[in-house]
Amino acid sequence: MSHLRTLLEVFPSALVAGVLISAACAALGVFVILKRMVFIGAALSETAAAGLAAALALGFPPLAGAAAFTLAAGALLSRPFETSRIPRDAVLGAIFAAASASSILLAARTGLGLEEVKALLYGDLILTRRADLWAVGGGVIPTAILLLIFLRPILYTFLDREAARLLGLAVGAWETFFFLALSLAIALASRVAGAMLIFAYLVLPSSAALLLSRRLGVVMALASAMAVLATLLGLYGSLVWDLPTNQLIVAFLAAAFPLAALVSRWKTTT
């Protein structure tokens, strides 16, 4: 009970931020999986880190740099690649490689030590400050809610572009809206939780939830619930076992995937 009390009394901001970020990113991750662009979470998270490092090196607000870089990457990725000679996955790979290298090089220009650079670029959820909650509550959550409000046209656009056009939907505009909204959410969340954890939130719980149900509403609810549970277990376990918080949360998220696969197989055989 002492560890639980410590978590509640000393790290309340980490609890609130963890619950909000995990729930929102897991719900957004369902769109990422349906769009078959799993790598976008890693690419945009690294882009946010590069923007953050660039802002610090140039003396600008860190969040402004992260948002500017990721929105620029999101605008690039929102272009229609169906008729392009270069697939979107190749562009994602190029963005990821360039952002990964740039973030380290730019952070080195700030004069920080190696450990400070790692903490700056990759975050630690348990060290969330009260001031960080403004970015989460004022940016990540409203963005996720906005995407849920316009769920139907975005989903139609993702699943069948031609049918969406026949229905009169502005396919290009809806795709651009989705990519920009996702980019902004990742930029703000990565500043608090770090690139690796945000990537895990986007991919692992949504993949596990899709194994358990085919109903979109149920999938999004299950994904968010699994992400929140893994976050709470990770925060508590990091205090009990003195382990890195982000990595422990990712381990719990990863464990949910084979469990979901077993449940899915059991359902199909009974």
- The reported pLDDT for the residue numbered 119 is 61
Place of tokens 């990595």: 247
Total domain count, the chain: 1
CA-nearest of 26, 7, 35, 12 to 178 is: 35
Domain residues for 190?
2-269
- Over 90: is that where the pLDDT of 221 sits? yes
| Confidence label for 115 from pLDDT (cuts 50, 70 and 90) | low
**55 has a pLDDT exceeding 90:** no
pLDDT at 116 over 70: no
Inform me whether the pLDDT recorded for 26 exceeds 90: yes
pLDDT (average), residues 251-266: 90
- pTM beyond 0.85: the answer is yes
What's the longest Cα–Cα distance across the chain? 61
pLDDT beyond 70 at 120: no
Contact partners, residue 78, CB within 8 Å, separation at least 6 = 172, 175, 176, 178, 179, 180
- How far is it, in rounded angstroms, from Cα 209 to Cα 198? 17
DSSP output for 26-60: HHHHHHHHHTT-TTHHHHHHHHHHHHHHHHHHHTS
- List, for residues 155-200, the tens digit of each pLDDT value: 888 777 778 888 788 888 888 888 888 888 888 888 788 888 988 9
Q: Are 182 and 202 in contact (CB under 8 A)?
A: no
Number of helical H runs and strand E runs in the chain: 14, 0
Q: DSSP character for 130? A: T
CATH number at residue 173: 1.10.3470.10
